[in-house]
Amino acid sequence: MEAVTGQHFFFHDQPEHAAEKDSCHFCQLRAFPIHQTTPVTIVNAKDQAVIPLNFRFIDRMVLGQGVEPAEDSFRSGCSCESDGECQYMGCLCLADLGEEEGSSSDEDEDIHANGANGDGSEAGRKDKVKQKRKAYAYHTHGAKAGLLRSKMLNSKEPLYECHAGCSCSKDCPNRVVERGRTIPLQIFRTDDRGWGVRTQVAIKKGQFVDRYLGEIITSAEADRRRAASAVSKRKDVYLFALDKFTHPESLDPRLKGPPLEVDGEFLSGPTRFINHSCEPNLRIFARVGDHADKHIHDLALFAIRDVARGEELTFDYVDGVTEDGGGMEGASAGDMAKCLCKSRKCRGYLW
């Protein structure tokens, strides 16, 4: 670790080291536009290991061969007249959501705190309850503004957000993932699971942490990479299928399947180093901006409980789903990767 940090601090601002600088992980992280306010740091106080040299930090998805975003003619966005409208029926970005059956307890908190026009009046509260409202994912008011509402935390529903093609501003409350990471993270060497990630600030339940980035590849290319990997189960931990909207009868040929996959093994952000826990503090959600890009939807990590500053971040790699419903039948223990999460709810194996 000292060897690489020394090179970075003493040589990477010199033009003759440009090639070396390009492959330096510290320089890649420093080049992120949000580095000054929201840095990602790397520390190893355990051993001499360094981040794999064939890995590169990126801050946006990379589209692999044969993967195309939607054509401009298929793009759309909402035409809401103000940011506040982007949580109600009529915002095109929420068009795929069912209407809510009455208000949830989460919404009641917003209503009681603010009333219809933010004046806290009882009349305003009643008006607001009467309004038809879409199942907008985030709290809009008060201390919880921008946090995922409780009912979303346990849901497998995708998050629909406004985006660059919309008429609302970049401050629209429905652009939480789009605005990006606001939490400084540290990649650190764990005692027993290689690298892990911890937060440098306290995180609130429902707060967005970061996206899982990587190279978006076709399913054929993902299969090829699995086969080429010496231990294919190991390859699986870096591959995530973008299958949230995949359906064999979809009218969109790109959503009929098989889905595209994200490979974070060699190109990714800090979330690629987050370890698994059977009792995690984060959960991964599918997030879509422009509906024309559902085939390349985002994978967004949110806190599902309050997380203390310095705590290691984890998510459940299989989101609680085991092939046989939780038991170990059908697979021999020798094939399975032992889980070291040490939680009370540990299932014993990663997959």
Ligand X SMILES: C[S@@+](CC[C@H](N)C(=O)[O-])C[C@H]1O[C@@H](n2cnc3c(N)ncnc32)[C@H](O)[C@@H]1O
Per CB under 6 A, does 326 bind ligand X? no
Minimum CB–partner distance for residue 57 and ligand X (Å): 13
| Largest Cα span, the chain | 69
> CA angle, corner 293, sides to 290 and 299, nearest 5?
95
User: Which tokens sit at 24?
Assistant: 């330096």
DSSP 274: P
Residue (221 or 312) nearer to ligand X, CB: 312
Footprint of ligand X on 244-303 (CB under 6 A): 272-273, 275-277
List strands edge to edge, sheet with 62-63.
62-63, 215-217, 261-263, 239-241
Nearer to ligand X among residue 119 and residue 323 (C-beta): 323
Considering only residues 66, 194, 258, 326, which one is a binding residue for ligand X as defined by CB under 6 A? Answer: 194
Task: Count the residues of the shown chain that bind ligand X, applying the rule CB under 6 A.
Answer: 16
Task: Give me the residue whose beta carbon is nearest to ligand X.
Answer: 194
Instruction: Give the per-residue SS3 of 183-218.
Output: CCEEEEECCCCCEEEEECCCECCCCEEEECCCEEEC
Q: What Å distances lie between residue 204 and 113, 137, 276, 305, CA to CA?
A: 19, 16, 20, 7
Residues recorded for the chain: 351
Residue 340 lies near ligand X (rule: CB under 6 A)? yes
Smallest separation (angstroms) from ligand X to the CB of 278: 8
- Rule CB under 6 A: choose which of 195, 212, 245, 315 binds ligand X: 195
Stretch that binds ligand X, among 112-120, 286-294, 327-335, 337-345 (CB under 6 A): 337-345
**Does 240 interact with ligand X (rule: CB under 6 A)?**
no
Cβ proximity to ligand X: between 148 and 350 the closer is 350
* C-alpha closest to that of 187 among 126, 269, 81, 300: 269
Q: Is 299 helix (H, G, I), strand (E, B) or coil?
A: strand
Active site residue 160: no
Catalytic (active site) residue 238: no
Measuring CA to CA, which residue among 283, 137, 277, 318 is closest to residue 203? 283
Q: Which is nearer to ligand X, 68 or 335 (CB)?
A: 335
Catalytic residue, from 138, 160, 212, 238: name it. Answer: 212
- Tell which residue, 161, 180, 156, has the closest CA to residue 59: 180
Which CB sits closer to ligand X, 195 or 208?
Answer: 195
Report the residue from 35, 224, 234, 247 that binds ligand X according to the rule CB under 6 A.
234
Bond from prior residue into 258 cis (ω within 30 degrees of 0): yes
Assess 339 for contact with ligand X (CB under 6 A): yes
What residues are labeled active site? Answer: 212, 317
Residues of this chain that interact with ligand X (CB under 6 A) are 193-196, 234, 237-238, 272-273, 275-277, 339-341, 350
